[in-house]
Structure 1
Amino acid sequence: MRLAETIRARLAAAADPSRAPGMQAYMKSAMPYLGVSAVPLRQICKTIFADLRFETAGHWQAEVLAIWRGAGFREERYAAIELTGLRAARAFQRFDVLPMYEELIVTGAWWDYVDAIAAHRLLPILRSDGATMRQAMLAWAVDADMWKRRSAILCQLDAKGQTDLDLLYACIAPLIGSKEFFLRKAIGWALRHYARIDPAEVARYVDEHPELSNLSRREALKHIAG
Structure 2
Amino acid sequence: MTADEELLKEIRDGLAELADAAKAPAMQAYMKSAMPFRGVPKPQRSALLKQVMADHILPDRVTYSATVLELWRAAEYREERYAAIDLSGYRAYRQWQDPALLPVYEEMIVSGAWWDYVDELAIRRIGPILRADRAEVTPVMRAWTADANLWRRRTAIICQVGAKEDTDTDLLRDAIEPAIAEPEFFLRKGIGWALRDYAKTAPDWVRSFVDDHPALSGLSRREALKHIG
* Smaller-chain TM-score bracket: over 0.9
The one of 30, 34, 37 equivalent to 1:30 is: 34
**Matching residue of 1:64:** 68
> 1:53, 1:116 → 2: CA distance?
22
Deviations 1:76-100 (A, max 9, x none): 1000000111111111111111000
Query: For the residues of structure 2 that align with 1:52 and 1:219, how far apart are their CA atoms?
Result: 42
Amino acid at match of 1:57: R
Q: Within the alignment, does 1:121 sit opposite 2:125 as a pair? A: yes
Match of 2:161 in 1: 157
Q: Secondary structure at the match of 2:227?
A: coil
Quick one: which of 134, 137, 146 aligns to 2:138?
134
Contact 2:192 2:222 in 1 (8 A): yes
What TM-score, normalized by structure 2, do the two folds share? 0.96
Extract unaligned runs of 5+ from structure 1: none
Higher alpha-carbon deviation: 183-192 or 82-91: 82-91
**2:78 is the counterpart of 1:74:** yes
Contact 2:57/2:92 (8 A) holds in 1: yes
Distance 1:16 1:127 in 2: 40
**TM-score, normalization by structure 1:** 0.97
Per-residue CA deviations over 1:36-94 (Å, capped at 9, x if unaligned) read 01111111110101144344322211110111111100001000000111111111111
Query: In 2, distance between residues paired with 1:32 and 1:60?
Result: 26
Q: 2:24 aligned with 1:20, yes or no?
A: yes
SS in structure 2 opposite 1:140? helix
Q: CA deviation digits over 1:135-183, x for unaligned, max 9?
A: 0000011111100000000111121111110111111111111110000
Q: How many residues align?
A: 225
Question: Does the 8 Å CA contact 1:67/1:77 hold for their aligned counterparts?
Answer: yes
Single out whichever of 99-108 and 50-59 deviates more from structure 2.
50-59
Distance in 2 (CA, whole Å) between partners of 1:139 and 1:15 is 41
C-alpha displacement of 1:129: 1.8
Structure-1 separation of matches of 2:124 and 2:65: 17
- Structure 1 distance, partners of 2:170, 2:152, is 19
Q: What is aligned with 1:148?
A: 152
RMSD: 1.0
1:7 Cα deviation from its structure 2 partner: 0.6
SS at match of 1:121: helix
Range moving further from structure 2, 27-36 or 115-124: 115-124
1:174 to 173, 178, 185: 178
Equivalences for 1:46-57 in 2 at 5 Å?
46-57=50-61
Alignment of 1:203-214 (within 5 A): 203-214=207-218
Q: In 1, Cα distance between the equivalents of 2:101 and 2:90?
A: 14
Equivalent in the alignment of 2:87: 83
- Residue 128 of structure 1, CA deviation: 2.4
Give the distance between the partners of 1:13 and 1:28, measured in 2 at CA. Answer: 24
Read off the aligned partner of 1:2 and give its amino acid letter: E
Identity %: 54
